[in-house]
Amino acid sequence: MPGEREEAIRLRAYALWEREGRPDGKNLEHWLRADAENSAKKYAGVTDNGKFIEHPNAAAADPPPRRRPRSK
């Protein structure tokens, strides 16, 4: 859901802002960094709690097993 994603980005951006000493005028930078981190985790298949998730289509991406040729 978009609301959950935005909330995760907002919390991460806030943590970045606090860690850097609460500088003024860096809100966009922090938001973009938090968004990039969130996207990278989702692309890598990692949930917010750090657990790995398997892509639902992972099995479909595997090639079919090789078959032996039929004897005549």
Angstrom CA distances, 64 to 55, 59, 60, 61, stand at 18, 10, 9, 9
Note the pLDDT tens digit of each residue in 13-67. 999 999 999 999 999 999 999 999 888 776 666 555 555 555 555 544 555 567 7
- pLDDT at position 65: 64
Higher pLDDT, 71 or 32: 32
Note the pLDDT tens digit of each residue in 24-39. 999 999 999 999 988 8
